[in-house]
């Protein structure tokens, strides 16, 4: 059964998702797309900030301030009183082209003490970098303190294609960095390259290591509360967007090196690679253009509690995946209130206040949305 749609266009999206979602459970079966559970709360959706241009990520500070960035450049703070303010920052060296620009954000775990945050961004020096920033007490400005914290991530200077780049802190304090393969088929399987990987970085020393390999273009990272499990979300070519359960040293099987060319006809998880790890969820055909992801928790979310939520760009909405303890998908559905109602969703993130925040990515009049269970 499909989630009811409000418009004919929404109905078409529902058919698209039904045809495309082929999540694999531990038994190898494909849970169908179903309606939201009857115990799921109705949700209120409000616009917190608008007039944005391709916003990419959002984080919430301990004081309730929301910090977001836009791919063409610029940080914006939404203060606890609702004021929307520009955060002045030196972005003169920002490389912006295609899919690359100012991308992932993460707050330092000790932000309350040090007011540090991190961004992943293209650089005119010819690479993609993770930069450390210190936010002013009133959020009026941010200054660099680690420039870069991590450098040398590959960059497609011709088109900006497959730049990644999501940031998320692991439970042990390492900064996880999801990278893209820059449309270079040699990189995902090259252990000496930082492209097509999930990396672990020490924010104290800047040391970085390859944690997992064999990725195409990592767009989302999410840590499952209480479990230590980390999931990545990435784009497929013309099939098989993926959600992967990450494990140290694992290879997720993307190998498009066709004798020096970028051969996108190969499967996302190549069965000929020894030990290649299958995705826990795959879109099948067509792709949905998966983006950022988050786990939602709290008793106020009722039957939505514990879900992995995945932002959808092309398919315009948010996909909900219910996982068993081992990380296999046992149920999937679309969040009705976001299904085709706000266009492309780039990022979805649960805030410290328990609300869900989403960024649209439709062009020059995008918005930050706040989603809460209706009381």
pLDDT tens per residue, range 8-42: 333 333 333 333 444 443 334 558 889 999 999 99
Q: Dihedral through CA 80, CA 297, CA 171, CA 105, nearest 10?
A: -40
Q: Write down the pTM of the prediction.
A: 0.92
Rounded CA separation 89/70 (Å): 13
Separation of CA 326 from chain center: 21
Distances (CA, A) of 329 to 27, 176, 257, 281: 10, 23, 30, 7
**Cα torsion for 168, 290, 260, 182, to the nearest 10°?**
-50
Interval 306-344: pLDDT, tens: 999 999 999 999 999 999 999 999 999 999 999 999 999
pLDDT, position 29: 53
> What helix, strand, coil percent values describe the chain, rounded to 5?
5, 40, 50
Quickly tell me which residue has 């529902």 as its tokens.
14
User: Per-domain residue ranges for the chain?
Assistant: 1-35, 51-320+346-373
What would the pLDDT profile of 97-154 be if each residue is shown by its tens digit? 999 999 999 999 999 999 999 999 999 999 999 999 999 999 999 999 999 999 999 9
CA 55 to chain centroid: 12
Q: Model confidence over 169-218: pLDDT tens digits?
A: 999 999 999 999 999 999 999 999 999 999 999 999 999 999 999 999 99
Eight-class DSSP state of 42: P
If 0-12 CB within 10 Å is exposed, 13-18 middle and 19+ buried, where does residue 56 land?
buried
Contacts of 74 by beta carbon, 8 Å cutoff, 6+ apart: 86, 87, 89, 91, 102
3-state secondary structure of 17: helix
- CATH architecture assigned to 51-320+346-373: 6 Propeller (2.120)
Q: How many helices and strands, by DSSP H and E, does the chain display?
A: 2, 27
């Amino acid at each position: 059964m499909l989630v009811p749609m409000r418009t004919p266009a929404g109905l078409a999206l529902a058919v698209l998702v039904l045809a495309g979602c082929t999540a694999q459970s531990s038994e190898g079966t494909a849970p169908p797309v179903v309606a939201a559970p009857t115990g799921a709360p109705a949700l209120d959706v409000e616009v917190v900030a608008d007039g944005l241009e391709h916003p990419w990520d959002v984080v919430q500070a301990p004081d309730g301030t929301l910090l977001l960035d836009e791919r063409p450049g610029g940080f914006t703070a939404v203060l606890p009183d609702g004021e929307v303010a520009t955060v002045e920052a030196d972005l003169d060296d920002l490389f912006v082209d295609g899919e690359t620009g100012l991308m992932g954000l993460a707050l330092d775990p000790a932000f309350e003490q040090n007011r540090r945050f991190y961004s992943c961004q293209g650089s005119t020096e010819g690479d993609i970098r993770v930069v450390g920033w210190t936010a002013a007490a009133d959020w009026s400005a941010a200054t660099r303190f680690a420039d870069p914290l991590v450098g040398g991530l590959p960059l497609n200077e011709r088109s900006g294609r497959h730049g990644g780049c999501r940031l998320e802190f692991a439970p042990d304090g390492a900064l996880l960095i999801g990278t893209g393969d820059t449309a270079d088929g040699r990189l995902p399987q090259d252990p000496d390259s930082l492209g097509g990987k999930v990396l672990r970085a020490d924010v104290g020393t800047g040391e970085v290591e390859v944690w997992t390999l064999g990725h195409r273009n990592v767009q989302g990272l999410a840590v499952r509360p209480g479990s230590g499990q980390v999931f990545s979300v990435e784009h497929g070519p013309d099939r098989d967007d993926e959600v992967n359960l990450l494990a140290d040293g694992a290879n997720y099987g993307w190998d498009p090196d066709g004798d020096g060319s970028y051969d996108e006809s190969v499967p996302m998880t190549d069965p000929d690679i020894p030990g290649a790890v299958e995705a826990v969820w795959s879109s099948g055909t067509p792709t949905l253009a998966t983006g950022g992801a988050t786990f939602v928790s709290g008793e106020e979310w009722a039957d939505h509690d514990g879900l992995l939520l995945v932002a959808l760009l092309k398919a315009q909405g948010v996909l909900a995946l219910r996982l068993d303890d081992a990380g296999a998908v046992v149920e999937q559905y679309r969040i009705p209130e976001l299904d085709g109602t706000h266009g492309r969703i780039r990022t979805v993130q649960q805030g410290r206040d328990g609300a869900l925040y989403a960024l649209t990515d439709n062009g020059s009049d995008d918005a930050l949305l706040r989603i809460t269970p209706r009381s």
